[in-house]
Amino acid sequence: VLIVGAGLGGLALANVLKHQGVPFKIFERDSSPEDRTQGWSLSMHFCLFLLKSLMDPVKYATLGKKSAVDPANPSDNDFSLIDGNKGERIVKFGGIPGADVFRVNRKRFRAWLMEGIDVQWNKRIDHYTVDKDEDGVQVTFTDGTVEEGSILVGADGVNSQVCRQLIGTEAFDKTTTENPLNLLVSSYWINSEFRRNIVDTLAPAHMMAAASGSEEDEHSLGLFSSLVDVDLNQEKPFEMLWCLSNINEKEPRYDTDQERLKQAKEWATNAGFSGLLSRLIMETPEDTQVVRIQIRERSPHEKLDTLRDPVVLLGDALHTMTMYRGEGGNHAIQDSCLLGLELISMYKGEKTLQEALDAYYKESLPRGRKAVAESHEALNQMHSSKAQVLGMM
């Protein structure tokens, strides 16, 4: 099995195949694990039941301790909905005691998945060639090297070269869309007192808020905040993330962190955010990195209903969705586990390639299409009028 992409989905599949004794190689275009930002934090929930059953149980038992945003309290994953104008919590959803639900630091979660996995770095795919006679596939990388395998797994993200070749450039470009939402994201370290106030008043793990300058505004400004990391050896031990989202397409796009931070503060002020979440934005140090994120969406293409070459997609390469249901990473790992089960059956001679891919896509295609549509709708709902957002809450 040749896996292109060592993100969460590709690494989860590698863990499953390794534990089940299926030979594989995994390739990543980055030059090292630190080559680029890996995101901040995410919630892992519905995918963990399958992952736990298929990977090394000794390793799985260390998930919370090694990857949770707060390793000392790995099950602390309460989520709150906040009235941004009042700065008050509307409702809090508590975690289920003992359940496999974790708010994880994305970088440490990826590092945990990577433990014991031999990733081949600096390997960017150029193209693949299906060997019709030998029932296999050849992958050619941009460095000129070639790898051969029984099946190629495209786990190479939203800009997947594997997906682009599989469904064709025209279909890929037509179905990959940019959402007009403007997102500005930043994180910085805060002191214990500020953190304690957030935990007591809002939520310990993560929260979503909406605010608008007036009741007549057609759209609300969204604010998501989450604990990202804890380091008790620091003077300011808690890293907090904020993400402001504005659906106004006419907003200018700036080139520097300072300009983007100024813009974020203007958004928050004009929308009337108050309380601790307003403070979190307004007290962001001037030298802090502020990132603009472009959301892309792609529902699984109809060609995948019938294509059965020894090439298969998972995660964002298969279905790219907004983050407004908090499910993208979960679907990627769910894909990996379900595909892993089919590859195990194929390796044991219990299923043909056609049967394995039929079974995998029969589940993953409708699930992926539904998730992309629901995540798109969740984004729109979260940025509708203040009255509509509060009604939804």
The stretch 134-163 carries a mean pLDDT of 96
* Lowest-confidence region among 88-102, 139-153, 233-247, 375-389: 88-102
Q: Which residue has the tokens 């025209």?
A: 170
What is the number of alpha carbons within 13 Å of residue 246 lying toward its C-beta? 23
**pLDDT interval class at 260 (50, 70, 90):** very high
CA dihedral 377, 263, 107, 240 (to 10 degrees): -100
pLDDT at 98: 64
**pLDDT interval class at 96 (50, 70, 90):** low
**pLDDT interval class at 35 (50, 70, 90):** confident
Instruction: Tell me which CATH homologous superfamily contains domain 2-29+122-177+296-382.
Output: FAD/NAD(P)-binding domain (3.50.50.60)
| Predicted structure pTM score | 0.95
Q: What is the 3-state secondary structure (H, E, C) of 272-327?
A: CCCHHHHHHHHCCCCCCCEEEECCEEECCCHHHHCCCCCEEECHHHCCECCCCCCC
Yes or no: domain 68-104+180-293 corresponds to CATH 3.30.9.30: yes
- Residues 110 and 234: beta-carbon distance below 8 Å: no
Q: What is the largest CA-CA distance in the chain?
A: 67
Measured distance between the N- and C-terminal CA atoms of the chain, rounded to whole angstroms: 45
* Lowest-confidence region among 88-97, 259-268, 346-355: 88-97
Domain ranges of the chain: 2-29+122-177+296-382, 68-104+180-293
What is the token pair recorded at 393? 């809450």
pLDDT at 132: 81
**pLDDT interval class at 233 (50, 70, 90):** very high
In this model, does residue 133 exceed pLDDT 80? no
Residue 143 CB neighbour total at 10 angstroms: 9
Return the higher-pLDDT residue of 289 and 135: 289
pLDDT at 304: 97
In this model, does residue 357 exceed pLDDT 90? yes
pLDDT at 93: 87
Same fold, 2-29+122-177+296-382 and 68-104+180-293: no
The stretch 233-239 carries a mean pLDDT of 97
pLDDT at 152: 98
Specify the length of the chain in residues: 393
